[in-house]
Structure 1
Amino acid sequence: MSQQKSDYIENVDVNEEKWDAHPSEAELEEAVESLEASGFEVEVVADAEEALAFVQETIPEGASVMNGHSTTLEEIGFMEYLNEGDHDWENLYGEVFSIDDDEARAKARREAQTADYFLGSVNAIGREDGTLVAADLSGSRIGAYPFAAQHVVTVAGVNKVVADEDAARERLQEYAYEFENQRAQDAYGVESYPSKELVYRQEGTEGRTTVVLVEETLGY
């Protein structure tokens, strides 16, 4: 079931003014330049509809596609399109979660990290140093980012742009984790924890990792 931040925002005590503000035009330009200098492809789009259209155009026919959980992907309509839309992709996500056996599903989930295209989001973006920061309890969402997947597409609202890596890690701990912990309790009845954190400072393979920056508030 798709959940948005608004579904449980009343149960989370965070500083939204500090951690969910949009960057100025100059700050967004700085973020783009820094991310590109770090080896990331960057696409800035106006809204969720344009973000989904870009993803649809980017992934070629016949590609295998996997993703980790992402409120942002749900909000732009990607999950609905992946599972029900008119495309010719190999939906690894659907295949994995159609498996009833826990051990077999876990094995397939690990293998799906090597998808042609792995999609997700990040918890924060350092505009000054072009750094991406994300964390998971299990690592299933971020495991593909550093190496396993052939291509990575991360979609993030500009509300995730902060000053630098230190601020990005602080946003993860003080803001994003609080929402993810509440989501996990609502969805699974268990608490979450940012036990496996990725600091993605540079992409060495040209064209491998694309950051889609959406000029809206999306995810957390």
Structure 2
Amino acid sequence: MNFDELKIDRRLLDALSGRGFTTIHVSTGAEARDAVLELLPGGSLVAHGSSATLQQIGLVEELQSSQNLRYGNADWIAESDAARRTEIRKRISINADVYLGSVQAVTRDGQVVGADLTGSRQAFYTFGPAKVVWVVGANKLVKDLEAAIARVYQVALPQEDARVRSIGWGGSAVNKLVVYSGEPVPGRTTIVLVDENLGY
């Protein structure tokens, strides 16, 4: 499938808003990082899933060094026992005041598609944390749901698979695929849309 380059415009913002998503539109990754940081109340518990996008814009580094936030990922990363690490990660993520991440595609009519090997991000996007914030680059904008799902398999998966193999893991797969057709809780999910290519 040919993924035509589409731009973030008023039509898209209105479509997302009509489905209950809060939108912020910025030009650069640096602006996206700053916009997300402004959304995080002082003292709040913040967690995130694995995200090339968050790494690219420097947000993870900012969270790691923050003196004003409780960076939940630090707790489970510090645990050496795998079983305990998983339990700590689940507890912190589901109870986070704000859970951060990205998704694999956003359609012109405002549907969002996310995918995971284990569901460790989609679980908390769908339920638990009081607030969810996604940072989404313009490269993830597609015309419709068919193109969004194709993008997961043809664009995002090969890059993620290469990444995990490069660090000695056994590869990736699309085991959990979620279509976010709307956000029923007002103000829960914010999408920061960026006029740059970010992530997979």
TM-score tier, shorter chain, comes to over 0.9
Report matched runs for 1:199-218 at 5 Å.
199-218=179-198
Residue 50 of structure 1 corresponds to 31
Amino acid at match of 2:59: F
Q: Tell me the alpha carbon deviations over residues 134-178 of structure 1, each in whole angstroms, 9 at most, x when there is no partner.
A: 111111122101111110000010110001222111111111111
**Deviation digits for residues 43-77 of structure 1 (CA, Å, limit 9, x no counterpart):** 00010111011011100001101100110000110
What TM-score does the superposition give when structure 1 sets the normalisation length? 0.87
Q: 1:23 maps to what in 2?
A: 6
Could you tell me the percent identity over the aligned residues?
35
Partner of residue 113 from structure 2, selected from 127, 130, 133: 133
SS in structure 2 at match of 1:148: coil
Q: Give unpaired runs (5+ residues) of structure 1.
A: 1-14
* C-alpha distance in 1 between matches for 2:190 and 2:140: 16
**2:65 maps to 1:81:** no
Query: Are residue 69 (structure 1) and residue 50 (structure 2) matched?
Result: yes
4+ long deviations beyond 6 Å: none
- Using the size of structure 2 for normalisation, the TM-score is 0.95
Would you say 1:170 and 2:153 are equivalent positions?
no
Shift of 1:22: 3.5
Report the Cα distance in structure 1 between the residues aligned to 2:182 and 2:6, rounded to whole angstroms: 22
Contact 2:136/2:193, CA 8 A, preserved across alignment? yes
Which amino acid in structure 2 is aligned with residue 217 of structure 1?
N
Counterpart of 1:96 in structure 2 is 76
CA contact (8 A) 2:116 2:122 kept: yes
Q: Is the 8 A contact 2:72 2:93 kept in 1?
A: no
CA RMSD of aligned residues (A): 1.3
5+ long unaligned stretches in structure 2: none
| Amino acid of the structure 2 residue aligned with 1:36 | S
Matches of 2:168 and 2:48, distance apart in 1: 19
Of the three residues 194, 202, 218, the one matched with 2:174 is 194
Contact 1:73 1:120 in 2 (8 A): yes
